[in-house]
Amino acid sequence: METLIFLGPPIAISILLSVILGYFGNHILSRGIIFIDIAVAQIAALGTMIGLLLGFAEESFGLQFASYGFTIVIIGVFAFTKFANQKIPQEAYVGIIYCIGLGMALLLAERIVGGSNFISKTITGNILWTTWTDVLFSFLLFSAIGLLHFFFQKPFRAISKDPNHGDSLKQTRLYDMLFYMTFGIVIVKAVPVGGVFLIFILLIAPAASITLFTQNWRKRLIGSWIIGIAGSVLGIFLSYSLNISNGPAIVCLLGILAIALTLFVIVKKSPVEKA
């Protein structure tokens, strides 16, 4: 019972992250921009480091504002690099943004006390020490974003299926801007809790695993949530029981599951269910 009480907030936040990232993951997978969350997370971390250099205290409003500000700017640049005749894949811009963010973060880390520890924490996260206050704030934030996406679900899904969907390129860019801004807000909130690698695996692995078996959107969502929640909760219990890092434990579980399912499909040659 004491273990369950202690692990309550980490389990609750892992469920919330699995749900919101499972949803975004299916969009990201369909759009073919797999590594965008790593790039966004790195830019958010860069904004935080610049805020620290400017003298803002950790977890202060000013520091969070700097992180969100940098993220929204980069998201805007990404959304408006979509052209009618795309000669360079957007994934290339994602890689460039990530490299710039990481390079600048490493340079700034040399000028911040404990900068290397901050970078390490950005990678591994701190999900085991989540509080119920964190859970409540995350629930309210993710619920608001979920409601917004429910209202705009038709254009968002249409663009994910067809990147050039829309009456005009300008309209598509505006919808993309809204989609990626909300995605960026989720990533900025999620990374300090789970770390870059855990957030990436929750975003991609469950969605990729279920897509092997069905292209039906509703079934993909439900399957992603089941896989993400089960892997996260099991990973937290294993990490606590074996006294190992929680983030890497969940990453390994979900990563191995995705690869195992891929091999299973290859061996069985199961036909993919159509939408």
In the chain, where are the structural domains located?
Answer: 2-268
pLDDT of residue 250: 86
Per-residue pLDDT of the chain (275 residues; tens, 9 = 90+): 677 777 889 999 999 999 999 999 999 888 877 777 778 878 887 887 888 787 777 667 777 777 888 788 877 777 666 655 566 677 777 788 888 888 888 888 777 776 667 777 777 777 888 889 999 999 999 999 999 999 999 888 888 887 665 555 667 778 888 888 899 889 888 888 888 888 889 999 899 888 888 888 999 999 999 999 998 888 888 888 888 777 888 888 888 888 888 788 778 765 555 55
Q: CATH assignment of 2-268? A: 1.10.3470.10
Please tell me what DSSP assigns to residue 55. T
Cite the DSSP H helix spans in the chain. Answer: 2-31, 36-53, 61-79, 90-109, 115-124, 132-151, 153-161, 169-194, 196-211, 217-242, 246-268
CB-facing half-sphere around the CA of 81: CA atoms within 13 A:
17
Closest CA to 191 of 11, 56, 67: 67
Q: Looking at the whole model, is its pTM more than 0.75? A: yes
Amino acid, single-letter form, for residue 98: Y
In this structure, the number of other CB atoms found within 10 A of the CB of residue 51 comes to 21
Tokens of 274: 């159509």
CA gap 236, 243 in Å, rounded: 10
| Of 265, 228, 219, residue with least CA distance to 17 | 228
Burial of 237-269, coded b for 16+ CB within 10 Å and e otherwise, reads bebbeeeebbbbbbbebbbebbeebeeeeeeee
Q: Whose structure tokens read 């979509």?
A: 82
Strands (E) located in the chain: none
